[in-house]
Each structure stands twice: as C-alpha cells, then as structure tokens.
Amino acid sequence: MWWRDGVIYQVYPRSFADSNGDGVGDLRGIIDHLDHLSWLGIDGLWLNPTFPSPNADWGFDVSDYRGVHPELGTLEDLDELVARARERGIHVLLDLVPNHTSDEHPWFRERRDFYVWREGRDGGPPNNWLSIFGGPAWTRDDETGLWYLHNFDPKQPDLDWWNDDVRAEFDDILRFWFDRGIAGFRIDVAHGIVKDRELRDNPEATAEDAEVVQRLGQRLVFSMNRPEVHDVLRNWRSLSDQYDGVLVGETYVHDLETLARFYGEDGVDELHLAFNFVFLLAQFDVETLAPVVARTEELLPEHAWPVWTVGNHDITRFATRWARGDAGLARCVLMLLLTLRGTPVLYYGDELAMAETEIPPDRVVDPEARRTGTGRDGARTPMPWSDAVGLGFTEAGVEPWLPFGDASVANVASQRADPGSPLCLVRDLIALRRSEPDLLGGEYTELHAAGDVWVYRRGSRHLVALNCGDEETVIEGAGTIVICTDRRRDGERVERALRLAPRSGALVRLATPNDG
Ligand code: GLC
Ligand code: CA
C-alpha cells in the first residue's frame, strides 16, 4: 500500500510556488514543481486547505467545501494537478476541515441548526470552554442574543456533529472529492469534532497535563475529545474503503493510549494514519524521544501503522526548534524521521532543513498570533527554490504574502548541487527506503538510548546510530556505512566499532544479520 511504504509531503499551497506573480503560491505553481517531488521520491502530496475561504485562518475557515480558492486557482487546475501527479505515481490528499466552517459559509445563515447555539449563563457565555486561539469559545449574536460555539477563531463557528444532516453533508463532500480522483484526506481536528451533548464545563488543567494544556488552563474533555468521534471516523473509514482512500488524522492528543484508539479495532476500522503529537511536541533529546517511539511501537494495535513528522504548518520549524540551528543535528533529525518504522511526512522545506523565519510585527497575519502572541507565520514562509531575487518562488520585485526567510543556505538549487546537503541526504534516504525491505516493514528494535546516543536496528540487517551530543561516541558493530550524515563516510567499512563524531548519524548494513 502506497501510504505505508511511501513518503508523504505536506505543501502549504500559499507558500510553495507562485505561478502568476501575485506573491501568493498557487496550484499551477505546485504543478510546475512536481519534478522536485518526483526527484525526491515522494508518493503522497497533502495540500493544506485549497477551498474558498475568507482567510481568517488561511483556508481553515472554509466557505465552500466543493470548490477551490480563487487565489490558488480553479477546480480545473486541481483536476490537472491530480492527473499530473498521478502520472508520477503521486497521490494527492486534501485537507478536510469538518470541525468548523467559516462564518461566511452559506450554512451559517441558512442552516443555523448545523451549528452549536445556546442561551448564555448569568449574562455570560453558556459554559467555561476556552478557544484554542484565546478567550472564550463562545460569541454572542446580537440579533438573537444566543451564543455560538467556536473552538478556534470567532470566524470559525463549530459544526454540530450531533446533527445527522451535518454528517450526511460530509459523506457527500468526501464522495465528491474521491470521485474526482483525490486519494484521501488529512482531517483537521480529527479528535475534536464531536462535543459533549450537555456542554458540561471543562475541568481545570493540572500540573500533570501536557504543557500545551497547562498553557490553555483547561482540559478539553467536553469541548473536544468525546468518545463519539470514533463513530464518525468509522463511518468515514468504510466510505473511504470503497475508494481505496486514505485518512490521516490531526489527532492532537497528548497520550499515546488515546492516540492508539484512533486506528480503531485492531487498527483497521478508523484512521489509516494518526499523527503523533506526543512525538512532535516533545523536546529533542534522546531520553525523551526514544521512550515515545518505544511506547508507540508497543501500544499501536496489530495492524496499525505509525506516522512520523518533525514539523508542520502549526509549529516552529524543526531546524530551529529541535536542531537549534545546528546543521549536524538537523541531519540527525532527518535520518531519524526517514528510518523509523512508519510513514514519514515531510513538511515543505524540511528537506532543506529550512529554519524558522522571523516575522516583523507589521507582517504578522496569523489569527493565533494576534490573539495569543505566539504565531505560526514563521513556519509558513515561501519555499526557497534558489537564492535569486524572488527565490524562484515568485517574480523578482514581488512582495510575497509572508516575508522570505534566509535562503543563503537553505535553497533547492544550491543544495541539489551539494552532495553533502540535507536535501541530498533526504533524497538518498528515501531512495534507500524504497529498495530495502528492512527499512519499510522491518521491526524497530531499540538497542541503546541513553545520554545523547540512540541506536536501533531495523529488520535484521540495518542499524541506525545517532549521536546527538557534543562528544564523539563509539558503537559496537560490524558492517558497512550505507549513508552517513557526513556523506564522505558513505561506503566506509566498520570492522568492530563505529566511531561517530558529535551531532552525526549513520545507517549501517550489518555484516551478520540478526535474526533474534
Ligand atoms: C488545525 C490546523 C490549524 C488550524 C486549526 C483550526 O489545528 O492545523 O492550522 O488553525 O486546526 O482549523
Ligand atoms: Ca499566485
């Protein structure tokens, strides 16, 4: 199955490539750069929202689920992208946003029963629920005096998933896109769309909760995360199965037991892939991450398949957040991502170890930044295709919708020409995965994970050793280095022990297979 063996690439369409010089990336721009994805060896392309939207949350506020945003192109452009991608063996996934619509969606006027409306309590909102973007999760409608629910921005009213008509609409939307050749969906807020029927107050966060929960101040046990969400996912799975479609969920949960449940019974009747935010939001140190991987391996149901990411459009780029600007550590992160058991998802620019871009205050456009102070714009800046004026993203002299980052090191053209670059490392690791069954289905066996050194075996013959620390380390074993983050060492024989310089990693083919 392509989504188990392959690599998925996430594109933020406004920032990938601008074909018409208006400073905003678009679908034709993606079509023009499919070569890059083929060259990398990508199998799946997940597009962040492509639907018409007033852009209060840059496409995550949808005003028509069956269309294409005019700034990004037309429905015909999307059809063409899907067809061209298919010629290259690339499957296109759309970003479905079922938790909420835009307040400018016609439903918000015509089908008020599609949304969650309530009387206020003591002159205030109906309950204590907080919005992820800050402030109460309720806004009062002046005309009726009733309050509507929005777990995100006030311009993103939550749909009422207790209403069967809402469910029927989304079944139809899924079919609409499957019929057009879409290979599947990333499902936004997949854990959260069903709300407590009685709208009970959320409990306060405690010291044991994940950092993000503590920052918010309450556990979202009633405003999201209801068990009934699994009924919706099971239904979508059976619908998707009729098309061989794939469902990848934004399962933003903070413990792995809960995550495992999103794969359904035996791991086969809900999501095909459930994003692992425990891994993604962890600190980058071996003694934190290795146990997360081990626990994930242990807890996923038999037929479930892990999925790994080191970044996305909502968090600081990994080269800054995890690797802290260190080129060697960034390569270790990429080696980790591409050698764990499971499907890797690369966020555009990850293959360049692209850093977070600093956004001057007058260029901030993220609604979350305006309300909470921490923004996501810095991880969404234009793809640097070259160091030319406009970075190959747009025409020279055009101001892009978000400022350019520093393209002096991270750009496709220069990294393609440099065999030691992160880009070539990613490409070569992907090529190796394709040809090496150990790296696809082979078991993950942790051999050592202490201090800054992480060593694991994949299948019977492959060993991955990552030295994330500042000291040289020596790892026992014999074989041949297939790929080292220091590419000059590719092909080196390892007689008895592998010496690894600080902040470097190696993938070794063992001389003697380990069948134990
Ligand atoms: C998800 C998206 C995020 C968006 C939010 C509301 O978390 O990844 O970008 O702001 O949902 O749709
Ligand atoms: Ca454009």
Q: Which residue has the CA at smallest separation from atom 7 of ligand 1?
A: 189
Whether residues 411 and 446 fall in one domain: no
For the CA of 61, the nearest atom of ligand 1: 12
Cα(278)–Cα(297) distance, integer angstroms: 13
Q: What is the mean pLDDT of residues 406-424?
A: 97
Cα(276)–Cα(249) distance, integer angstroms: 9
Whether residues 172 and 26 fall in one domain: yes
pLDDT at position 220 is 96
Q: What is the CA radius of gyration of the chain?
A: 23
Cα(231)–Cα(74) distance, integer angstroms: 34
Q: Are 44 and 91 in contact (CB under 8 A)?
A: yes
Question: What φ, ψ does residue 454 adopt, rounded to 5°?
Answer: -130, 120
pTM of the model: 0.98
If pLDDT is split at 50, 70 and 90, which confidence band does 373 have? confident
pLDDT at position 382 is 98
CB under 6 Å to ligand 1: residues? 57, 60, 97, 152, 188-189, 250, 313-314
Whether residues 349 and 468 fall in one domain: no
Report residue 397 as tokens: 């002299």
With pLDDT > 90 as the criterion, what percentage of the chain qualifies? 97
Give the C-alpha distances (Å, rounded to integers) separating 124 from 153, 387, 448.
18, 53, 55
Cα(216)–Cα(218) distance, integer angstroms: 6
Whether residues 195 and 276 fall in one domain: yes
pLDDT at position 122 is 94
Q: Which ligand is nearest to the CA of 395?
A: 2
Tell the residue number behind the tokens 């909420």, with chain if given: 100
Measured N-to-C along each axis, helices 229-241 and 164-179 cross at an angle, to the nearest 10 degrees, of 30
243-312-203 Cα angle (round to 5)? 95
Whether residues 337 and 462 fall in one domain: no
Q: Which ligand is nearest to the CA of 313?
A: 1
Give per-residue pLDDT as tens, 150-181.
Answer: 999 999 999 999 999 999 999 999 999 999 99
pLDDT at position 374 is 77
In a domain, 189, yes or no: yes
The domain that holds 502 is classified in CATH as 2.60.40.1180
- What is the DSSP code string of 366-420? -HHHHHHS--SGGGSPPP-S-SSTTTTTS-TTPPPSS----TTTS-HHHHHT-TT
The DSSP 8-state label assigned to residue 21 in this structure reads S
| Cα(25) to centroid(ligand 2), Å | 5
Helix (H) or strand (E) holding 294: helix 286-299
Helix (H) or strand (E) holding 245: none
For the CA of 60, the nearest atom of ligand 1: 12
Whether residues 251 and 330 fall in one domain: yes
| Cα(58) to centroid(ligand 2), Å | 15
CB burial of residue 351 (10 Å; 0-12, 13-18, 19+): buried
**Probe target for ligand 1 pocket from 314, 315, 372, 374, with the most ligand atoms within 8 Å of CB:** 314
For the CA of 152, the nearest atom of ligand 1: 6
Q: Is 277 left (phi over 0), alpha (psi -120 to 50) or beta?
A: alpha
Q: Which residue has the CA at smallest separation from atom 9 of ligand 1?
A: 314
In a domain, 112, yes or no: no
In a domain, 283, yes or no: yes
Task: Say if residue 128's pLDDT is above 80.
Answer: yes
Whether residues 227 and 270 fall in one domain: yes
| Cα(101) to centroid(ligand 2), Å | 24
In a domain, 124, yes or no: no
Name, in order, each residue with C-beta under 8 angstroms of 117's C-beta and a sequence gap of 6 or more: 141, 144, 146, 147, 148, 149
In a domain, 202, yes or no: yes
pLDDT at position 371 is 75
pLDDT at position 514 is 85
Whether residues 332 and 409 fall in one domain: yes
**Probe target for ligand 1 pocket from 50, 61, 152, with the most ligand atoms within 8 Å of CB:** 152
Q: Which residue has the CA at smallest separation from atom 4 of ligand 1?
A: 60
Q: Which ligand is nearest to the CA of 18?
A: 2
Give per-residue pLDDT as tens, 276-309.
Answer: 999 999 999 999 999 999 999 999 999 999 999 9
pLDDT at position 8 is 99
**Probe target for ligand 1 pocket from 189, 313, 372, with the most ligand atoms within 8 Å of CB:** 189
| Cα(84) to centroid(ligand 2), Å | 19
**Does residue 345 sit in helix, strand or coil?**
strand
For the CA of 368, the nearest atom of ligand 1: 10
Task: Say if residue 516's pLDDT is above 70.
Answer: no
**Probe target for ligand 1 pocket from 60, 224, 280, with the most ligand atoms within 8 Å of CB:** 60
Going along 83-227, which residue ranges are E strands?
A: 91-96, 117-118, 138-140, 147-149, 184-187
Whether residues 336 and 465 fall in one domain: no
CB burial of residue 312 (10 Å; 0-12, 13-18, 19+): buried
If pLDDT is split at 50, 70 and 90, which confidence band does 346 have? very high
Q: Which ligand is nearest to the CA of 29?
A: 2
Cα(340)–Cα(40) distance, integer angstroms: 18
Question: What φ, ψ does residue 123 adopt, rounded to 5°?
Answer: 80, -5
Whether residues 330 and 405 fall in one domain: yes
Q: Which ligand is nearest to the CA of 193?
A: 1
For the CA of 151, the nearest atom of ligand 1: 6
Torsion on CA atoms 29, 35, 38, 44, rounded to nearest 10: 10
- What is the DSSP code string of 96-139? E--SB--TTSHHHHH-GGGB-EE--BTTB-SS--B-TTSSBSEE
Q: Are 296 and 343 in contact (CB under 8 A)?
A: no
| Cα(105) to centroid(ligand 2), Å | 24
Q: What is the mean pLDDT of residues 360-380?
A: 90
In a domain, 171, yes or no: yes
Give per-residue pLDDT as tens, 226-262.
Answer: 999 999 999 999 999 999 999 999 999 999 999 999 9
In a domain, 146, yes or no: no
| Cα(68) to centroid(ligand 2), Å | 13
Whether residues 422 and 449 fall in one domain: no
Q: What is the mean pLDDT of residues 451-466?
A: 98
pLDDT at position 372 is 74
Count the domains in the chain. Answer: 2
| Cα(325) to centroid(ligand 1), Å | 26
| Cα(188) to centroid(ligand 1), Å | 6
Task: Say if residue 335's pLDDT is above 70.
Answer: yes
Q: 466: domain range?
A: 442-510
For the CA of 57, the nearest atom of ligand 1: 10
In a domain, 154, yes or no: no
Task: Say if residue 78's pLDDT is above 90.
Answer: yes
Helix (H) or strand (E) holding 499: strand 497-500
Nearest residue to 138 (alpha-carbon basis) of 112, 123, 157, 122: 157
Give per-residue pLDDT as tens, 12-26.
Answer: 999 999 999 999 999
- Kindly give the pairing relationship between strand 246-249 and strand 307-309: unpaired
Cα(400)–Cα(393) distance, integer angstroms: 9
Least confident of 81-90, 204-213, 394-403: 204-213
Whether residues 422 and 476 fall in one domain: no
If pLDDT is split at 50, 70 and 90, which confidence band does 370 have? confident
Catalytic residues, by residue number, are: 188, 250
Residues composing the chain:
516
Helix (H) or strand (E) holding 237: helix 229-241
90-405-317 Cα angle (round to 5)? 60
Cα(455)–Cα(341) distance, integer angstroms: 14
